[in-house]
């Protein structure tokens, strides 16, 4: 004996748009067919997929990595602070001191000049 899958394809927008009465009418027409198959011991399983919005697309292969991305919501909207470069190192040192005063942890802040990115990855 061999099992077969009978897959039903239909236009989701149509099927999803049936009224309760329309839906019941369709099921009523199918019911005797189901019954016959069941009586003959041939109906292994019958199911109905929910509309695709309720499902989840899972990409093949390894799980997609979590990465950063250009999202305005965290980078332009919900932002607890600004990050800038300053004109002189003394401003950087002052800010670091302010942070050190505000901090209760035992770490320390390093002030180092930010290096401008270059296309070959080399130093400026």
In the complex, minimum distance from the CB of residue 30 to another protein, in angstroms, rounded to a whole number: 28
Nearest CA among 46, 48, 22, 47 for reference residue 36: 46
- Residue 100 in contact with residue 108, Cβ under 8 Å? yes
Least distance (Å) from another protein to the CB of residue 17? 17
Q: How far is the CB of 73 from another protein (least distance, A)?
A: 4
Task: Return the structure tokens found at 3.
Answer: 């099992």
Element (H, E) at 94: helix 89-102
Q: Using the 8-state DSSP alphabet, how is residue 119 labeled?
A: T
Judged by beta carbon, residue 5 or residue 62, the one nearer another protein is 62
Residues near another protein (CB under 8 A): 52-53, 55-57, 61-62, 64-86, 91-92, 94-99, 101-103, 105, 107, 110-122, 124
């Amino acid at each position: 004996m061999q099992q077969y899958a009978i897959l039903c394809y239909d236009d989701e927008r149509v099927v999803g748009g049936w009224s309760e009465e329309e839906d019941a009418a369709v099921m009523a027409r199918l019911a005797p067919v189901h019954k016959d198959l069941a009586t003959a011991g041939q109906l292994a399983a019958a199911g109905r997929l929910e509309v695709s919005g309720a499902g989840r697309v899972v990409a093949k292969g390894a799980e997609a990595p979590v990465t950063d991305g250009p999202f305005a919501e965290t980078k332009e909207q919900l932002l607890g602070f600004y990050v800038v470069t300053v004109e002189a190192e003394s401003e950087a040192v002052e800010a670091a001191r302010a942070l050190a005063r505000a901090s209760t942890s035992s770490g320390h802040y390093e002030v180092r000049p930010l290096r401008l990115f270059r296309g070959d990855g080399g130093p400026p």
